Amino acid sequence: MRLLTPAERRTRRDALADHALQLFAEVGYPNLTIEAVAHRAGVAKGTIFLAFSTKEDLFLHGAGRRFQSWMGRLANLDLGSASPKAQAAGILETLRVDPLLLPLISLVAPILEQRCTPEGVLAFKQTVALGFQGLVQAWAPRWPEVPAEAWQPLFMRFYASIVGAWSAGEPSENLRKALSNHPALGIFLTKFEELAQPMIEALLRQVQEPPRRVIDLTHPLHPGMPLFPGTPEPAFKPLGTLAKEGYAERWLAMASHTGTHIDAPAHLLPGGRGLDDFSVDHFIGPGVIIPVPTTESIPLSVLLPHEEAIRTARFVLLHTGADARWGQPSYFQGFPVLDAEAANWLAAFELAGIGIDAPSLDPVESLELPNHRLFLSKDICLIENLRGLAAIGPEAFLFSALPLKLQDADGSPVRAVAMRPGP
């Protein structure tokens, strides 16, 4: 009797697994026997045991093949520029191509791997790993910002979401009929797609919207803090203490332009808009850093190299380095401001705000405040007393300077932050 070659043995194993899965579709796993598989395949029972040690080995082999085919469909899926919601729907559609795939996957951990031989489990894991490698090769170029080491845990969360959603959201027909008679238990009739879609969508958003590093650009508020000449001292008075009243609360009093703050047009212009007249998204948007290599006035030549970046930005932040002198008398002296030519050029852009890590966009001694009036007349709000702009770096970033929601607000302290990709 001629011995089978390795290729012939693989072909026979695959064929036997296919016969087993055909029966699985008809009678389910508990009612399926090796004898029935042998009869369907037209071979002796011993022939199956020459290829597989147990019924579980046979099914795990079949599950691995179906799983690898699914991974191939995923790798070929054109995610394109669709939204994460549409991409998640496309992924779920690849699952439905093979009606046996999800029922098989749901058997893997609780039944097949528990009763299978170590060799069978190892072979299944190797099959899945090969499919996963192909998927990463196809998907990684689409999202180069995802580190190579992040793909494996991402895939496992993806796999767990699908298995969990199928186990929780696809009751058997008998159970579905029983549950339908108990409205209070209707939550268990949730469909697989209703559970899986939002979970897969959330994972895709993690891939396409990488984590952001949030950089605080705000000076702390406290009594005794540095103040613009003429600004009254902030007062923080206790209204309740934990020791006496059982709760802590303070009464706060300060000028609306204290510390890191934002100026509204109403600050200087009759009939100008207050901060509460702007939508909240006016205070969040893409930012650009302009390094200022001078302690004198800022000329147009400093801005021109950044023209392209300014056109796509909503906020321009002038990095003078003056914040290093915060807390010293010199902080309010000799900081650079835009000259008239530079200010007029910058005011022509559709900006939401201009920020500076110095006390003001005009000199402290200025009475006319020409830069303030120019920008505020264009509804360009001004953010002053920023700090730590050097920490942002050259990467693109999102800037936020959300004011308090004060009625008729001419200005407000803000918690200014920059958000950029990175840990």
Residues catalogued as catalytic: 267
Q: Which residues contact 119 (CB under 8 A, 6 or more apart)?
A: 53, 57
CA-to-CA distance for 204 and 158, rounded, in angstroms? 9
What is the three-class DSSP state of 281?
A: helix
Cβ proximity of 290 and 303 under 8 Å: yes
| d(C-alpha 123, C-alpha 52), whole Å | 12
CA atoms of 393 and 323, how far apart (whole Å): 16
How many residues can be counted in the chain?
Answer: 423
Extract the runs of DSSP E, i.e. beta strands, from 255-396.
261-263, 284-291, 315-319, 353-356, 381-384
The upper half-sphere exposure of residue 232, i.e. CA atoms within 13 Å in the direction of its Cβ, equals 8
Question: If residue 11 lies in a helix (H) or strand (E), which one and from where to where?
Answer: helix 6-27
Nearest to 391 by CA among 213, 212, 171: 213
Nearest to 105 by CA among 73, 138, 59, 149: 59
**Torsion sign, CA atoms 48, 49, 50, 52:** positive
Q: Which two tokens stand for residue 285?
A: 């948007």
| Residue closest to 128 by CA, chosen among 63, 52, 51 | 63
**Closest of 71, 50, 403 to residue 256, by C-alpha:** 403
